[in-house]
Structure 1
Amino acid sequence: MAQAPRELLAAMFSAAVESAQPEYCIPPHLPEPPRGRTVVIGGGKASAAMAQALEHHWSGRLEGLVVTRYGYAVPCERIEIIEAAHPVPDAAGLEAARRILEKVSCLGEEDLVICLISGGGSALLPLPAGALTLEDKQDINRALLRSGATISEMNCVRRHLSAIKGGRLAAACHPARVVNLLISDVPGDDPTDIASGPTVGDPSTCADALEIVRRYRIDLPPAARALLESGEGESIKPDDPRLSQLTTRLVATPRLALEHAAQVARTAGVDCHILGDAIEGEARDVGKVMAGIALQVAKWAEPFAPPCVLLSGGETTVTVRGQGRGGRNVEFLLSLALALDARPGIHALAGDTDGVDGQEEIAGAFITPDTLARGWQQGINPRQALDDNDAHHFFESLGDSLVTGPTLTNVNDFRAVFITGD
């Protein structure tokens, strides 16, 4: 094995991100041009790059509008790109959502809507339902992000407080044909959870959303609670006749990204084992579990013999109780490092494939056997940093942050633990 552990882990992460680049994954899934108009809509961190890839490979007439995160725009000639805030929505996203809804409101049977959706679309398409305001949506988003709820639970609440999510955008496209091209960033690849499912039917109910609010003790604005309790926030169901001309295609998924990363390790002569692409739970708890598996491998060569890499994906959660900046990938890593307790020969990388861990312009970080020792040398108590949800500061102080800038895609979290056997 010629590559250093850090170099190999970085190469694997890069391969995962590259496999989900829109220019690579969009063209095989494009539909035939229609007799009528082709209108492109969408939202998410990858949506602008998806629009650009579509333009590169579409010969017919084309028009449209997509919204992406600030800093994630790329040049397009026929599709308008708008930037807005994520993860807490802003007025630019609100206006983009309104315009997208207007753009598809007068289409006919011979028209085609291509909907480009990726992770981040929930915040980027913040069109409130009923009497809700943008400020209400912002407060609800902040509360959900801090609650410890899973991404599926958060999106269930969002779908029932929205005028565009939960299939409502698809219903507005009727009677045009709709083709969804989705880049999945959610455990299980459920289309209803990707950007809260604006163009797919939703089987969940207002009662489900209320139960989630109760479970996590989320304080809803009065208008939001009234919307859920009255049932007026009910989403569009899968059997709705307005969705009869709907096709959904997953063009990139966490599983495919992990497989590309695994191939990099195997090419370097290192066995690689994918433990799961949909792992959820508190980030610090997942870190402890992964440490237990890694220690078993290192000590007993069970269930795999070193050298090997343990790969996993999914989306963990962070219940923010301290004063730190959160970040599920760095919280996972700091918990992992504490549980490994400086065990020699174990290195790891964890990062969000969109380049943003939590609310930070940092994808994730690396750990090495001497991570804890170097933290103490910097005057930082690793355990205290974890308790304060301040892992970003911890890894920045060590120079071990993983900074990629906008990756223009999003296939969820990437976690790789390399047991060298040294």
Structure 2
Amino acid sequence: MTDQQGSAIDERCQYCTFPLTQSKSVFQSIFVCHSCTPEDGQLLCLCQACADHCHADHDGLEYVGMGPCYCDCRQILVGCRIETESDREAKRLLNGRPCLSQKPSTNRPLTSVKDSRLFSLIEGKELADRLQLQTQTLVKHSKETFWVDPSLDPLELSELELLAYTILDGHCQRYSLKGYGAEWWVQVKNVSSQRASGEVRTLDNASEAVDLHYDKDETIAEKFGIGVFPLISTVTYLTDSGDAPPTVVFSKRYDQPEDETISEMLLSYPRQGNHLVFDGRLLHGAPANHSLRRPGVGDNRSYSNIRVTFLVNIWDMECKPVGVERLPHSIRQHLISDTAKEPFPLSSEKFTSQSGLFAESIHLNDELSIPEALRQRIELPFLGTTTTWESASDDGSTTFVVTFPPPIAAQSDLLLVSFGPGMEAYVENDSSGDEEEPSLVV
């Protein structure tokens, strides 16, 4: 490998994955080293960190691809040079919790993009407006993610924490979950009008976007290059934002082959009080591309010039993301002082009493089903290279390509777009060598 490739690996993961996985095969980058394998011996898998730290100067080092494996570096004759520090760091991060190999397989209540649902969670403008004002107070003090679980006393929590607590409790009741907690955070984004001086805007405002990404344990992904994902991801919309980017969810998980096309895309348009629920392993975001946005639907709503969302991911308590802690008391006091202490008007019963909105389906079977003037491919940026755990041996950037016409005048707040053969979204590697952010093409 080149020095540049080795450096890229070092930036993404520093430690051998074996202490986390043991002998359980987990999806990750796979390397083999012919230099360290006898001629009649079996090739053993190496993780990215070991390829960099233990075998980078070996001529026989080869990148195989992404797939399920466990690292066998410590079984090779030369031994693992980072074994001790990797064991120590894994022990520190797990902090008494079981490693990945000891975790039983989870029965997921949501397993595909078709399982996604949209609920009307917050009815009444007063509460939603109050919550979105509190989010703006919160971001002045912290932009971190925070934790709630059943051990907390609801009487001591701010309203934002109570919203996260209610969402957690509601989904635990709905899906009969026990032993789960929730990570929560807020996003406040400016919204530019789609039209300026009577003309349709063609440029995207990056500050509006939430680029495509996977929700995951960020620390484990950074240090070990392994993806650990929430059971359920949710988005609650606290503002009506007519020109705001929709939440986009693709039928793509991290453990699917890179060259596998993507046949389905879910779009959830912001409506104050709505609550979107989807499989926590799926690729998603709120791209700024105006082709994905919906034109005015002709109602009498007063739209906000900001897009405020409240995000909650539900995790098995034994997989609690590293470094995510409860909201500090000092910040909680700022939030409580912003509102009168009244009984929180939401309850978890709302989750069990609603079946949720099913998506309105749109089928793009072939290009002939789209007017010629509307046929196009759009590129949607990834948050960064670590989003997809690409191998550092890849040259250039990655692009996510999707075929999609300009805004569809649909009445539903939830659309499921299905792409026919030849119309699917796909990942495209840019071999030009330009250092651009990876993106997805629709």
Normalized against structure 2, the TM-score is what?
0.28
Greater Rg by CA: 2
Question: Which is bigger in relative contact order (C-alpha 8 A, separation at least 6)?
Answer: 2
The structure with the greater share of residues assigned to strand is 2
